[in-house]
Structure 1
Amino acid sequence: MLIIWVFFFFGFGERGIGFGEEQSKKSAMASTNKVVSGGGSLISDLKNLFCVLRTRRTMVFAYGFMFAFIACTVFIAFNPSATSSPWFTNIFGSRSSDSSYRTHFSSLFSYFLPNTSQPIIGSTQAIVPPPLPRTDLKGFTVPVAKQFQTAENQSEISTPTSVKSPPLYKNDSSKNRTETSSGKAKSQAPPLKTQPLKNGTVSGSAKPTPKSPPMDNRGVPKNKKEDSSSGMTLGKTQAQAGNQAEKKVSGQATNLLSSMMDCNIFDGRWVEDGSYPLYPPGSCPHIDEPFNCYLNSRPDGAYQKFRWQPRNCNIPRLNGRDMLELLRGKRLVFVGDSLNRNMWESLVCILRNSVQDKSKVFEASGRKEFRTDGSYSFLFKDYNCSVEFFQSPFLVQEWEMPDTNGSKKETLRLDIVERSSDEYKNADIIVFNTGHWWTHEKTSKGRGYYQEGSHIYDELNVAEAFRRAVTTWSRWVDANVNPKKTLVFFRGYSASHFSGGQWNSGGQCDNETEPIKNETYLSAYPEKMAVLESVIKWMKTPISYLNITRMTDYRKDAHPSIYRKQYFTDEERRSPLRYQDCSHWCLPGVPDSWNELLYAQLLIKYNQKQQQQQQKRP
């Protein structure tokens, strides 16, 4: 209003429109005098203004305009129908449909001064709707599980201790476990919610085997585009089926996700469970002889009757059919040393046990022995998925260099990732490991063995060499693995239990028939795994660390020991010339529990993926 008045005051003068010449001259002379004298005062400016107001025509026009403006305002206030005009609404109306309570004056004010900030109490902008409830794969409300410490790159790194548990490898007096008078550990952890049946399956979780598509003579579906890297077909229909399969895991298993919220599933204890193992001993033909303690005549079977119980939550029993549904149309690849082969054979046997027609589970190349170098792929025809193993004990390349005497010198290239990496970089799930071969004589001493470029180190500390190797691996993962497609896991160090020497110097474990119960006898956390964790935290690709070190340290009873081969007499087995195996594990046995932890992680991740997809939908 003030702006309009000033416009008319200075727009009209004594003689019609504008000031007269005489008044203009006076104003100009006044301005000149102010400039010359260094500026006027407020009083002189007001006098110049009132001289304008003293003119008759200006006063008449000002009063007339003011009277007209007041009359117009009163008319609008007492005649609301006038405001229904589109022209009036566009200029003077409020811009918010929820602001009907606001006056026309405030609307007019906001029109002329649009940048003026005002609290909009009644506006929809002030109302933040609550987030949509998150549901599990069967429609039950399930919070997002957070069982890991998450690094800046979203890698999940967990140590075997939690906030509520004692420090790593220290004795404790946990309320969840008491020691009986006989010395056996008695678990007071909450029981699993799933009720196993006599046949080893979980009630309510079994599903009919889906009808398989037409197969060719290689055992793969016809008329599908073949993935040259795996020798199996992964067409669009299989990929779509795999996505649908992620939604079909059993309600019994997914309900347990709620109990794993804020839980460290690697901090716990072994408890006896008569429903284990997950597959009958001697039923799986795909176990290498050194791992098949049952067929190698081990007399006791108590080591098979344990399951892993986290301290503050439960994990689902591994249901083979549900996991195959998760893997439908996918590739799951294990990369590492013979301990990862131990885990790979365990998973193959668990999944095979859940398939009705066993002839539809086979190794792609037809091989039945898996101890040689190279790669192996088990195909599950009904689900069009593969479970594969690539042997790479260091994750970097073993090398040969010409020696001075004309022979070749074996070295380890710390700066080059292993040769077969391109064959699995596009897999859907990759589980890496390394560790045991770094304890051998050449690697542990590090003299003339480690190489970078053309330089061979005369001596290099094994921990530093390990750090450089896993750094090379991490850079390859960041550069070649697509985290939007591929889930990457790293399985930690598996504990050994040689007593009285090392593997090649008389170390033994054949008399061990019970797990360790006193935590003071557990080993220190391996330095190499601490190095690995520090490298993972700096990676761009999220890595899920399966920290099984402590859980394996308890199980001194579950190694093949002297039961590595068949047809040995007791005397031959205990001969000083025979090495005992206190590093690997009998199957069925401890690696089955590693796969249960992997299964739990896959359930969590695919559940989170589904929740994210639901939140993106309008």
Structure 2
Amino acid sequence: MADATKYVPIAGTNVSSILKTRKTVAAAYSFILAFVAFTVFLAFSPSSNASSPWFTNIFSPTSTTDGSYKPQIPNIFSLLFPNTTSPSNSSDPLHNNTHSFRSTNATSLSPYPKTALESQTLKQTSLENRTQTTLVNSTQHAVPVPTTNQTTDSHAPSLEVKSPPFLASKEPPGAVKNQTFNSDEAKSASTNQTTNATATATATNVSVSFPVQNVPNLNTSSNSSVKVDLVKGTVVSNDNYTASLARKQNNGKDHAKGNDESMESLMKCDFFDGEWVKDDAYPLYKPDSCSLIDEQFNCIRNGRPDKDYQKYKWKPKGCTLPRLDAHRMLQLLRGKRLVFVGDSLNRNMWESLICILRNAVKNKHNVYEVNGRVNFRGEAAYSFVFEDYHFSVELFVSPFLVQEGEMTDKNGTKKETLRLDLVGKSSSQYKDADILVFNTGHWWTHDKTSKGQDYYQEGNHVYSELNVLEAFRRALTTWSRWVDANINPSKTTVFFRGYSASHFSGGQWNSGGQCDSETDPIDNEKYLTEYPDKMKVLEKVLKNMKTRVTYQNITRMTDFRKDGHPSIYRKQNLSPEELKSPLRFQDCSHWCLPGVPDLWNEILYAELLLREYRNQHEQKKA
């Protein structure tokens, strides 16, 4: 009976099952308590388990600014209960405002109020191999940005992914980028020009833009909000935020203002009143690196031992010239024709510019002379094409800018003349160029021109004798009239480069003049030569022209540089006569490359920058 009553249900309930259930529940609670105790022990003793991958994956210790580690205990609950949100950490004042990219619960992904961040469209751009970037909030808690090995959740806040500009679109020919005018400023342009707070992945050129968010302050009783900068991961007070945002918004304006001030400074500056300053950042290209330099100008290859003549820059008194940025100049010349017209000193400058620009081109096979020429003496014209940029740099040989000819006298004898009334025959080929650089001067010092006997011609008349300065004035007047009649100033920019000083000592170019012992520039102005009368004549002619011509008055700046000529290092293989007396055959007129002509091109670069600046401002006014 006792056995029977032992199994009688009490109010329909089996007593033994109740006892068993209580034991089971007790055991379960004991297990849970033990497990929790064990977990807490591990959580606060990370050093003993630092080598455990399991421990590392669960607790994900996060470094804080003070060097300590904070275990992320809630991660274990994510593993045990994957469909629930992580418990809040009461020590975090913005614990409900932290993005969780691990959770699959769509409602927990964006605790922020709806803003532009959520409304932007996620562009399907691959971010492979991008390293994880960590953003830190006001309490220095990690806010992870999703890495590429994670699956993009369609419910996650949209991130605008910006591709590098050169991948996003290809520039059409003729496009000019608005880059920094000063190459020193250009190096830091990426840090100085900020439009929004931007977190940039370190492993690729892909940047992710985050706007600054307004986040409710959960720890204050007021309804005010704080500003969170998602790039720096910091909470900015309302007082500081306005100034911070203003700085970011005005950064581009300040930079543009700096450029404006730089351009205004250049516009007021006399580029040709200055001094040569030693600068180890020069030359603009490595010596003997340009195969296009004529043997006549390649002093290093011809055995010149000293190299200091390459390490000078020209410093005007009233401003600082921007260093020639070849990449920038390539853009300035995109789609254009730049033509040099004149004598071998213009060839000196032409070769210099080709070497500077070619050095900045990736595919040098796409820079070539149209007729395949490799020597640049003896022909009437040369043209180098920069195929990737759709422009050419050309040279038309015209030492006097007017025609050389010949006529037959009464006795039937032919004699050379110089037609002072006719511009050079090649003029029709370059009148439509975008940029023209003219020069003349040195050939007017030769015997025939300086003596002026039975040489100068106008119409059918040959002057038995004519003063060289008067002949020079008439020739330049003919040239100026041609420019006024044939050049469209709205399309073509015209430069005239002045006389380049020579430094023959003890004779002239054909009478034993020397300069081989010169290794330093002139350092005292009193040793400079008298300003050439020919340049005074040129300046008067330019003043009477209708067309605006930019005068590059390089006479004084070159007069300092007695050290920059090829001298005896003008060629490798000397003739038998030259071997007998090598010091008699020197070149103290032209310039070694790299060298002085590079700085002429640096001034040309500054002039082109000013031209672009003026055009932009005129367009804004219109």
TM-score, length-scaled by structure 1: 0.60
Aligned pair partner of 1:437 in 443, 463, 476: 443
The residue aligned with 1:480 is: 486
Alpha-carbon distance in structure 1 between the residues aligned to 2:346 and 2:448: 21
Q: CA–CA distance in 1 between the matches of 2:166 and 2:407?
A: 53
1:409 partnered with 2:340: no
Q: Among all aligned residue pairs of Structure 1 and Structure 2, give the percentage whose two residues are the same amino acid.
A: 65
Q: 2:607 aligns with which of 575, 595, 601?
A: 601
1:286 aligns with 2:217: no
- Runs (4+) off by over 6 Å: 207-213
Segments of 5+ residues of structure 1 without an aligned counterpart are 1-206, 214-236
Question: Aligned equivalents of 1:500 and 1:211: distance in 2?
Answer: 63
- The answer (yes or no) to whether the contact 2:181–2:609 under 8 Å persists in 1 is no
1:591 maps to what in 2?
A: 597
Whether the 8 Å CA contact 2:382–2:394 is kept in 1: the answer is yes
Letter in 1 for 2:537: V
2:394 aligns to what SS in structure 1? strand
Post-superposition offset of 1:399: 0.8
Mapped partners of 1:371, 1:245: distance in 2 = 34
Contact 1:290 1:564 survives alignment (8 Å)? yes
Task: Measure how far apart 1:422 and its partner are.
Answer: 0.5
| Distance in structure 1 (CA, Å) of the matches to 2:580 and 2:515 | 11
CA shift, 1:211, in A, is 11
Distance 1:263 1:540 in 2: 23
* Inter-CA distance 515–210: structure 2 relative to 1 (3 Å threshold): farther
Cα drift, residue 280 of structure 1:
0.2
- The answer (yes or no) to whether the contact 1:264–1:310 under 8 Å persists in 2 is yes
Q: Which residue of structure 2 aligns with residue 372 of structure 1?
A: 378
How many angstroms does 1:567 deviate by?
Answer: 4.4
Determine if contact 2:497/2:553 at 8 Å carries over to the other structure: yes
Give the Cα separation in 1 of the matches to 2:353 and 2:474. Answer: 31
1:407 to 1:325, Cα distance in 2 relative to 1, 3 A: same
Deviation of residue 258 (structure 1)? 3.7
Q: Distance in 2 between matches of 1:501 and 1:589?
A: 24
1:449 aligns with 2:455: yes
Distance between the aligned counterparts of 2:168 and 2:344, measured in 1?
A: 35
In 2: Cα distance, 1:469 partner to 1:210 partner = 53
- Paired position in structure 1 for 2:139: none
Separation in 2, partners of 1:573, 1:211? 61
Which residue in 2 is equivalent to 1:318?
Answer: 324
Is the counterpart of residue 418 in structure 1 residue 437 in structure 2? no
The Cα shift of 1:357 comes to 1.3
Residue aligned with 2:305, SS: coil
SS at match of 2:457: strand
Cα displacement (A) at 1:312: 1.7
Q: Report 1 or 2 for greater relative contact order, CA contacts < 8 Å, sequence distance ≥ 6.
A: 1
**Aligned counterparts of 2:323 and 2:431: Cα–Cα separation in 1:** 29
- C-alpha distance 570-414 of structure 1, shift in aligned 2 (>3 A): closer
CA contact (8 A) 1:249 1:326 kept: no
Partner amino acid, structure 2, of 1:325? Q
Residue 176 (structure 2) aligned to one of 245, 265, 268: 245
1:527 — aligned with what?
Answer: 533
- In the TM superposition, residue 247 of structure 1 has moved relative to its aligned partner by 3.8
1:400 matched residue in structure 2: 406
SS in 2 for 1:245: coil
Deviations 1:143-163 (A, max 9, x none): xxxxxxxxxxxxxxxxxxxxx
In structure 2, the partner of 1:222 is none
In 2 relative to 1, CA 454–292 (structure 1 residues): closer, same or farther, beyond 3 Å?
same
Cα distance, 1:407 vs. partner?
A: 3.0
CA contact (8 A) 2:406 2:415 kept: yes
- What are the Cα deviations for residues 78-108 of structure 1, in whole angstroms up to 9, with x where unaligned? xxxxxxxxxxxxxxxxxxxxxxxxxxxxxxx
Residue 389 of structure 1: aligned partner: 395
Question: Could you list the per-position Cα deviations for residues 38-72 of structure 1 after superposition, in whole angstroms to 9, with x for gaps in the alignment?
Answer: xxxxxxxxxxxxxxxxxxxxxxxxxxxxxxxxxxx
- 1:29-40 alignment, distance < 5 Å: none
Please say if residues 434 and 493 of structure 1, whose CA atoms lie closer than 8 Å, have aligned partners that are also in contact.
yes
Match of 1:549 among 555, 563, 566: 555
- 1:132-171 alignment to 2 at 5 Å? none
How far the C-alpha of 1:261 sits from its partner, in A, is: 4.0
**Aligned equivalents of 1:613, 1:570: Cα separation in 2:** 62
**CA distance 1:492–1:585, change in 2 (3 Å):** same
**Deviation string for 1:286-334 (max 9, x for gaps)?**
1110000011010110100000001121010001110010000000000
Q: SS at 2:614's partner residue?
A: helix
Structure 1 residues 514-565: Cα deviation after superposition (integer angstroms, max 9, x where no partner):
0001111101111111111101111110000001000000000000000011
Distance in 1 (CA, whole Å) between partners of 2:339 and 2:272 is 22
SS at match of 1:498: coil
Matched-pair contact (CA < 8 Å) for 1:414–1:469: yes
Give the superposition deviation at 1:445. 0.6
Q: CA RMSD in A?
A: 2.3
Tell me whether 1:334 sits opposite 2:334 in the alignment.
no
Match of 2:518 among 489, 512, 518: 512
8 Å CA contact retained: 2:514, 2:588: yes
8 Å Cα contact 2:511/2:584 also seen in 1: no
* Maintained 8 Å contact 1:495/1:553: yes
Indicate the residue corresponding to 1:495 in structure 2.
501
